Amino acid sequence: MLANPEVLQSAVAFISDGIESGKPDIVISRTLGLDEIVAATRFMESNSHVGKIVVKI
């Protein structure tokens, strides 16, 4: 994608339009503390989550 400027420009426009319109709903799968970074990494690697994994610092 990065090697093709047309595709990159299209992707940036798509993301920008979504952010400006307020369309994207961010789904948070799990929130963990920094002391749980190993568990967060394992959870991410398991591919069993739907949404983002947030690590609080």
47 φ/ψ sector (left φ>0, alpha ψ -120 to 50, else beta) = left
Q: Is residue 33 part of a domain?
A: yes
Q: Do the domain assignments include residue 13?
A: no
Beta-ladder partners of 33: 56
* Residue 4 resides in a domain: no
Q: What is the pLDDT of residue 26?
A: 82
Q: What pLDDT does 2 receive?
A: 67
> How many independent structural domains does the chain possess?
1
Contact present, 49 and 29 (Cβ < 8 Å): yes
Tokens 């959870």 -> residue:
43
Report residue 46 CA to chain centroid gap: 16
Q: Which residues of the chain have pLDDT under 50?
A: none
- Total-model pTM: 0.57
Report the length, in residues, of the chain.
57
Could you tell me the residue range of the domain that residue 31 belongs to? 25-57
Does residue 41 belong to any structural domain of this protein?
yes
